[in-house]
Amino acid sequence: MLTRIDHIGIACHDLEATVAFYQETYGFGDAHYETNQEQGVREAMLRINTTGDGAASYLQLLTPIRDDSPVAKWLAKNGEGVHHIAFGTDGDVQDEADGIASKGVRVLYDAPRNGSMGSRITFLHPKDCHGVLTELVQKAGTAPQDG
Catalytic member of 39, 60, 94, 138 = 60
Decide if 135 is catalytic: yes
Decide if 38 is catalytic: no
In the chain, the domains with their CATH numbers are 2-138 (3.10.180.10)
Catalytic member of 39, 43, 96, 138 = 43
Q: Can you state the percent helix, strand and coil of the chain, rounding each to 5? A: 25, 40, 35
Catalytic member of 39, 94, 135, 138 = 135
Q: Which residue, among 76, 63, 53, 56, has the nearest Cα to 10 in the 3D structure?
A: 63
Decide if 43 is catalytic: yes
- Long-range CB pairs of 130-136 (<8 Å, 24+ gap) are 132/84, 132/85, 133/83, 133/84, 133/85, 134/84, 134/85, 134/86, 134/87, 135/6, 135/9, 135/84, 135/85, 135/86, 135/87, 136/2, 136/86, 136/87, 136/89, 136/93, 136/96, 136/97, 136/100
Q: Could you tell me the pTM of the whole model?
A: 0.89
Distance of CA 43 to the CA centre of its chain: 10
Q: Which residue, among 45, 47, 42, has the nearest Cα to 71 in the 3D structure?
A: 42
The confidence score (pLDDT) of residue 143 equals 57
Decide if 80 is catalytic: no
Decide if 16 is catalytic: no
Q: In a structure prediction context, what are the per-residue pLDDT tens digits for the chain, which is 147 residues long?
A: 898 899 999 999 999 999 999 999 999 988 999 999 999 999 999 999 877 766 788 999 999 999 999 999 999 999 999 999 999 998 999 999 999 999 999 999 999 999 999 999 999 999 999 999 999 999 987 654 433
The confidence score (pLDDT) of residue 141 equals 79
Catalytic member of 83, 84, 94, 96 = 84
Q: Which residue, among 97, 91, 94, 88, has the nearest Cα to 125 in the 3D structure?
A: 97
Distance of CA 136 to the CA centre of its chain: 8
